[in-house]
Structure 1
């Protein structure tokens, strides 16, 4: 199968030349446009998630030979979560080459974080099936290198850190509530409030509910830690 020009350009940005080009075509095919003759990328996504996890785990062990599992686990989670995959997908223009159904295109599918993250995992699987683990490792390390190098010594997400802060002081876990949702369906903005039992609270906005919760938790934790100094 000969690749279309947009997929050839994407393959160059990715850094892998496909022998089995049908794998790349499948990796960028969303369920909204799939047919029995043109399968979607969901099975590849399943495999790519595991390949990415293995390569990132290896890289973290190599990068910090003395780190405990307690430090490695949150770093790993930060690097393999859907947001990280979607960020890489945006950097290499994966959204531009996705094959989507009309309704998904009209709703802004090329910019959706979950859709981009899933497709990035599918592309990783396509590389793995096309050329093996070493090729997949090369692609992953090329595009995750700066993230691996800069992942925080303690990469716990803000919600986890705030919960641990509260529990250490005898407080129940923080509560989160959605205060507002604005914007069109394909580009929503969520407003979320986090509250501690002691009464302290913070509000944050972001393009996904999870991101807004994280931002609110981070702001509240920073404020509480400053107050404890």
Structure 2
């Protein structure tokens, strides 16, 4: 798996070069969710320091004793009843997508006296089964996060529809970010991260290209 990690890192560097961007300008988020530790350990040992997790409890169980020197990102939907744990544990929460969650996050950040970096998730394909604010409401939601709830929004995140050309979705997310003065773009996964880099991604979330395909039967039901 360390060889797979090196191959992904090389592909990211090549995509950065093709896009005329500095080498190292894109952060690789290794998506470790649902992976057994024997798959994650070699990637960690090879020097990977940024990991993405889908569920708060699973992440705390996996990384609780291994937290030092790492950046952990929550890339799955956040339930409001898990906000306290998420704020205390994660460096980045990429899935802010509704007013109630923004309000609870604001309250918890004030209580805790610390704030993870926050991204708004945009449902660029307007798919009913996916989380995320729809594009037409993204500007107002970012403004509300800032003005109503006092949150600092560092970035935007999206997951394009599986069977769609991802490039227009990435370009659309970039346009929303530009309108709203948002600097970071979390977009692109194993099958399309090179396209995402060409469209301005500042971080890519790569799981199967590093760890192999997940066994979805092992994922806990919610």
TM-score relative to the length of structure 2: 0.23
Structure of larger gyration radius: 1
| Greater relative contact order, per chain length (Cα 8 Å cut-off, separation 6+) | 2
Greater strand fraction, Structure 1 or Structure 2: 2
Flag the structure with higher helix content: 1
